[in-house]
Structure 1
Amino acid sequence: MLYRHLIKKLDLTSLHLLVSIHEEGSLTKAAEREMLALSAASKRLQEVEQVLGIALFERTLKGMKPTAAGETLLFYARKILMDVEKISIDVGEYLEGIRGHVRMMANISAIIEFLPEDLQRFMSSHGQVKVHLEERPSAGVVKGVGEGAADLGICSADIDIGELVAVPYRHDELVVVMRQDHPLAAHSHVPFRETLAFDQVGLHTDSFINLRTQAAARSEGKILKQRIQVPGFDGVCRMVQADLGIGVLPRKAFELIGKPLGLYAAGIDDDWAQRTLSLVVRNREGLSPVSRLLYEHLLHDQP
C-alpha cells in the first residue's frame, strides 16, 4: 500500500523539488528554481513526508538540511532523474540520426595526453555517435561512474575504485617542469626530495598529482612549498615560465604545453612517478551497445 501511494506522489516534479531543496537549502528558493508557487511546493513536500511517515528535511539556522531518510531518498531521486535525462537524450538523438550517446568522465591527464587521438579515431569510424566528456579528478571520476552519471571513466590506478571494474588503459610518467636556468635543469632525473627546497606551482587541491606530491613530501618529513595553485597543466607551465616555481606534470603534457614555452623537464626517480591510468565501469555486461563499442576501442585501439 505504501508503494502505491509513494509512486503517486513521487512524480518527476516532486523529485526535482526535493533535489532543489537540498541544493538551495531553502523551500522558497527551490520553489522559484522549479517555477512552482511556494504553497504548491510546500504541499508537495508535505504529501511525500505524510506518505512516508517521516520528515525528509529539518529546518536549521543555516537552512533546510536533509534527515537520514532524506539523504536516502535524495540518492535515489538523483539516480532516477539522471536515468530519465539519459533516456530523453538517447531517444532524442536517435530521432536526429545519432546512433548513440556515451557519457565519459576522465582526469585531466587522460584528457590532455591520450583521449584526443583515441576519440578522434573512434569518431572517425562512428560519425553518428556523440560522446559527452567531463573532466574530473580521479576520485570524482570514480564517484561519477559509481553513481551512474557516466558510463565510462578514466582515472589513476592508485585511487580506490570501490566496487567498480577497472582495466589498465595507458601508462604515463610524471616529470618536474622548470625554467632552463633553474638549478635542477642540469639533471635529466632527480629524486623528488631534491625538489622540496624550491617553490612549487601546484594543481588544484583534489587533483591526484597534487595529492601524490603532498604525500611524497610528507614521507620525507617536509611540507610542499606551494607558492600558487592553478586548475590545469597550461596554468602550471605559464606560472613556471613566469618564475613562480617548479611544477609536476605528465611527460606528454609537458611535451605538448611546456616544451613550446621553452621549459625543461627532468624525470622523477621515485617509483610513484610511473603511473597507470585505468578505464573503469560499473558493470561491463551492463554497458549499452555504443558504450561497449567505445570501451573496446579504448582498450584495444592503441598506437
Structure 2
Amino acid sequence: MTEMDTRIPVTIVTGYLGSGKTTFLNHLLKHTEEKTALIVNEFGDIGIDDQLIEQTKEEIIEINSGCICCNVRKDLIDTLSMLAISRDEKMIEFDRVIIETTGLADPAPVVQTFLMDKEVVEDYFIDVVCTLVDAKHISRHLDQQGEAINQIAFADVVLVNKVDLVTKDQLTDLRKRLERINPTASQHLCENSRISPGEVLGIYSFDLQEKLRGHPDFLNSHHHSHDDEISSLALREVKPLNLKKLNLWLSFLVQIQGEKLYRYKGVLNIEGKERRFVFQGVHMLFAGEEAGSWGDDERVSELVFIGKNLDKKSLTEQFQQCVTE
C-alpha cells in the first residue's frame, strides 16, 4: 500500500462462533463515516446475519452457499468483481469492503484471494485481518486445536471481547496464550464488541512496509509457544544475509512445509543492499520487496513464523545457513 494507492481497502473480520462478530459490525458501521460494502458469509443454505445487522448506509452482499474458506472462493471473487464494476460505473458508492467470515472459517484461503487473483489484486488490498475472541469461552476452543487457533494465527489485530466475564488473572493468562500463538498481532480489550473504528480501520496492519513506519520493532519478539500445535518462532540476526541463499531456502521451505506455515513475515538486512527488504507469506504464497532505508536504525534481520508443528531447531539452523560468512 502506498500513499497513491487508489485500490479499495478490505477488512477481514473473523472469529469463532459466538465471539461477537455481528455485534461488532453493528457498532463499527454505526460509528464510521466511511461508506462500506459488507460481505457476509454464513455456513448453510439459509442466512440470517444480514437480518441481524442493523440497516444503515452499507451495501450488504450475503454469500450463503457454504463456508467462504472452502467451496465458495469463486463466489467471493465474483462478488468482489461485481462490486468493483458497480463502483466504477457509479451504480453504488463505497469506500471500503468488510468481509465477515463464518465462525467455522479458516482465514487462509480468504487472505490468499487478495494475494493471488490478478483482478482482485488490481482493485483491492487488505487493510487488516481482525479476529474477535470470546474471553470467556475461547480457551476450550484453543485446547481443541481447531479453527479458532488458525483465526488467531492469521490476525493482525485480536479483539479480546467479553472481558467483563472473566477475572483479571484469567484475562492475563489468556493474553499471554494469544501472544504465544501470534506475537505480532496487536491486542485490544473490549466489552460487548465495542471498540473505536480507528483501532481496526485504516491502520494498514497487513502491509508490512506501512506497519514498519509506525512500529519499526514490531517483529522483535522472543516469545515462543510450547503448549499449542500452532506456535510462533522469532528469528533475529545482526549479520547480513545472503540473498541467493535466502531465496533458495524460502522457496524450498514453502514447497515442503507451506501448508503448515500459516503466516510468516520478515524485515531483512541483505548483504550489499542499502534498503530494508521486507517479505511476507501465507502458506505457499510469498513475496518480498525493498522498503525504506535503514537510516540510523540498527541493521538487523528479524523473521517471524506462525505455523503448525514448527520444527524450531531445524528452522533456526536453516536460517543461520543464510548468514553471510
Structure-2-length-normalised TM-score: 0.26
Structure-1-length-normalised TM-score: 0.28
- Which protein has the bigger helix share? 1
